[in-house]
Structure 1
Amino acid sequence: MKPASIRRRSLTATALVAVVPLVLAGCTGGGGGASTGGEVTKLTVVDYYGENDEKVITSFLDTCGTENGVEIERTMVPGGSLIQRVLQQASSRTLPDVLMLDNPDLAQIAETGALAPLSDFGLDADGYAEGVVQSGTYDGKLYGLAPTVNTIALFYDKSVLADAGIEPPATWDELESAAKALTSGDRYGMAVDANATYEASWQFLPFMWSNGADEKDIATPESAEALQLWTDLVADGSMSKSVLNWTQADVNDQFIAGKTAMMVNGPWQLPALDAAGADYGVVTIPVKDASDTAVTPLGGEVWTVPQTGDAARQAVAAKVVACMNSDENQLAMAEQRNTIPSKTSVADTYAEQQPDQQAFVTLVASARSRTAELGAEWPTAATAIYTAIQAALTGQASPEKALDDAQASN
């Protein structure tokens, strides 16, 4: 998932409970434009996009606003504080007309009653990848749609592997063998983000899920096998101990600098890799056995229509969400943001136009929503996962014990 959307945070049950009655009682409107019953001339939008995304998203929002006869008043909130702001706005009945959420957060906010089901406005998720539908759904109802999404894959240095006569690994055994052979001097064979944040959990999930493990109970042999793989890579020197502190951006910097021959990362890194002239290839993340299927987590943001209590404004807001999700806009947004269209047919077209994205398109088709199993309880499991990773990779506990301890405290 894109770094900006993998922030560490907590959401207390007390805060959620306090919001529910206020939201269900109805809100007074989105804080801008016409009041209930009048002509809608302006819509308020809240999101957390920054840097290049800010310009891209502004352009699409403005276009969709113009197409629907409204001015877009956009507020950008730092990712780490977005959820608390949404809860405060729900309590004060000042929710925006359109709200962007990191997809794992949707369940937590929908649980409070702060979001309107998109079916109320005739919107559905026909043609979307299954994981995308899961990420926008809570308690059987669709609340959010994502124009584009992302996931992670294995990047490798083409020239380094070619010089060593090594093919990109497809299994864990091949990964361990390749990482060890490619480790030389100040270059490590492999790199991941294993820091004490949701980013580490996000990067570990493909290894855990593809081995048949489940976040409902991480204290299983299947999870331990996946964590043992990471632990062994660090223990034999094929992966730097610094991965315990690296972000995904740091991992990419290491790859560009030639300090690692392979890395787990996402498509948002392609512009930096291309600008640096990196000679890279991308394949699906290795699985334990060749017969296994790689299952990766779905990243990206969903657009929602909050319960503002103003039917006219909500109707127009839904049209803007639909516009952001049109086939044309999904394709154009993916090209400009290095993400993957959420509709499978559009994603296939994208892969034909952008061959470097084929591995990500393939993975997105079967990618899993992080909240599909646990819903609003996902953040607790994510914390347990990265806590276990830290304990195992630092040698404080064996993978089995690290997972047992983390699950017990979950």
Structure 2
Amino acid sequence: MYTVLNSSTDETYHRWDAEAMARCGKQLGITIEQQSVPAAQVMTKALRMASSRSLPDIVQFDASEMPTFAEAGGLIDLTTLGLSTRDIPKGIVAFGSYKGTYYGAARSVNTLALFYNKDVLRQAGLPVPTTWDELRATAKKLTHGKRYGLALSAGGAEDGVFQFLPFMWSNGGDERTLDGPRVVEALDFWKDLIKDGSLSKSTVSWTQADVNDQFMAGNAAMMINGPWQVETLNTDKSLHWGIAPIPVPRAGATSVGPLGGAVLTVPNTGDTERERMAGRIVACLSSEKEQLTYALNSWMVPANEKAAAVWRRRMPELQALAGQVAAARSRTAELGAGWSSVSLALQSAFQSALTGESSQAALKRAQQRATSGN
């Protein structure tokens, strides 16, 4: 019996993973079982199991958390277990790496896009916005009664940071200098949307799931969100939605979002025989065939280039998402395990800036917090 610790607590995802593990188990002549806990508990549980020497054979970490475990020496270099990165784009290899070592194999990746209500934009005679100026003007025109022009998450959690990064990065901001002018401009843009009345003041407490609920209820004409919402969106047949790249500061700029998703890792248990088999399990679960199956189920984009090419042909409505993934970046690429301090500092800055404080002051304090690690 081999065990995988993951965050597939959702019934649908748990079933998809169980089916994939059954297929790989049959192929390898073993039994694979998953232990699923909420995403926020994976790291805590893995650290606790490491201290009691009861680690599972495989841990599926959120890619932003993996470097913390790798830094402590808790993971095996997957290339030593025979896994290849040949058909994986460099950005996605970096997504699963720490200090140049490949510790995490992604089955699929995701990022954010602009979702819009086709009927609302058509009735207003407005094109899909492509720049910040267009987004601000369009959101203002579409704000009417209980409906806001745009919904996004600026909550005090990783959701909010994930949603801010496309604005920060596309504007040339850098996570090493949170109080830099380009980062301040990005946060000021969010403040302008609230000032216009186009963005609800409740955005500071919304998760990405809350944002999707607002969009589906007709309380937002557009939203920033990811492909994990598609299954829910499709339950309402009367809702005609489309997706586009997240608007950029200036025409011609590249829309750069964060890569999201999880990576399969093999913990360092000291049992080389089990570790080798765990590597074979990871290779199977992240194979081209299994990636495509998982991506078609979950609406995510396969990490493998060959699987992604097939996915694009079969998911033409999500072409904009494939383009966003191609330009997306790993949150931990620059800072590694230091990302968590930056994330927490930014979360606090949103709460302050969007409820009245100047962006400059809020981000100056965020930079001090990130530098000190407090």
> Into which bin does the TM-score normalised by the smaller protein fall?
over 0.9
Equivalences for residues 5-404 of structure 1 within 5 A: 42-51=1-10, 52-277=12-237, 278-395=239-356, 397-404=357-364
Deviation at 1:239, TM superposition (A): 0.7
Runs of 5+ in structure 1 lacking a partner? 1-41
Shift of 1:64: 0.8
| Pairwise CA distance, 1:129 | 2.5
Cα drift, residue 344 of structure 1: 2.4
- Once the two structures are TM-superposed, the CA of residue 50 in structure 1 deviates from its matched residue by 1.5
Q: Partner of 1:185: helix, strand, or coil?
A: coil
Q: Is the 8 A contact 1:129 1:366 kept in 2?
A: no
Q: Is residue 330–residue 342 contact of structure 1 (8 Å, CA) maintained in 2? A: yes
What is the deviation of 1:131? 2.5
Retained in 2: the 8 A contact 1:206–1:285?
yes
Structural RMSD (CA):
1.0
> Where do 4+ consecutive residues of structure 1 move more than 3 Å?
none
**Contact 1:130-1:365 at 8 Å conserved across structures:** no
1:3 aligns with none
Once residues 159 and 93 of structure 1 are traced to their aligned partners in structure 2, the CA distance between those partners, rounded to angstroms, is: 56
Secondary structure of residue in 1 paired with 2:128: coil
SS at match of 1:44: strand
Unmatched 5+ stretches in structure 2: none
- Do the aligned partners of 2:3 and 2:33 also contact (CA within 8 Å) in 1? yes
Q: 1:108–1:376: 8 Å Cα contact kept in structure 2?
A: yes
Question: Does the residue aligned with 2:149 lie in a helix, a strand or coil?
Answer: coil
Q: Quick one: distance in 1 between partners of 2:177 and 2:220? A: 33
Amino acid aligned to 1:160? V
Alpha-carbon deviation of 1:179? 0.4
CA distance in 2: counterparts of 1:407 and 1:220, whole angstroms: 9
Deviation at 1:224, TM superposition (A): 0.7
CA contact (8 A) 1:45 1:74 kept: yes
Q: Determine the C-alpha separation between the residues in 2 that align with 1:135 and 1:90.
A: 23
How far residue 348 of structure 1 moved from its aligned partner, in angstroms, is 2.3
Task: Please tell me whether the aligned partners of residues 153 and 266 of structure 1 are also in contact (alpha carbons under 8 angstroms).
Answer: yes
Which moves more between the two structures, 68-77 or 284-293?
A: 68-77
Q: Which residue of 1 aligns with 2:365?
A: 405
Cα deviations across residues 115-155 of structure 1 (Å, max 9, x unaligned)?
A: 11011112122221332211211121101101111111000
Superposed displacement of residue 354, structure 1: 0.8
Residue 130 of structure 1 contacts residue 366 of structure 1 at CA under 8 Å; is this kept in 2?
no
Q: 1:212, 1:126 → 2: CA distance?
A: 30
Contact 2:18-2:33 within 8 A present in 1 as well = no
- Kept in 2, the 8 Å contact 1:146–1:301? The answer is yes
Give the deviation of 1:109 after TM superposition: 0.5
Distance in 1 of aligned mates of 2:365 and 2:74: 35
> Post-superposition shift, 1:307?
1.0
Q: What secondary structure, in the 3-state scheme, does the structure 2 residue paired with 1:275 have?
A: coil
Q: Structure 1 residues 345, 366: CA separation in 2 closer, same or farther (over 3 Å shift)? A: farther
Alignment identity in percent? 45
- Give the superposition deviation at 1:170: 0.5
Shift of 1:345: 2.8
Alignment deviations for residues 265-292 of structure 1 (CA, whole Å, 9 cap, x no partner)? 0011111111112111100000000121
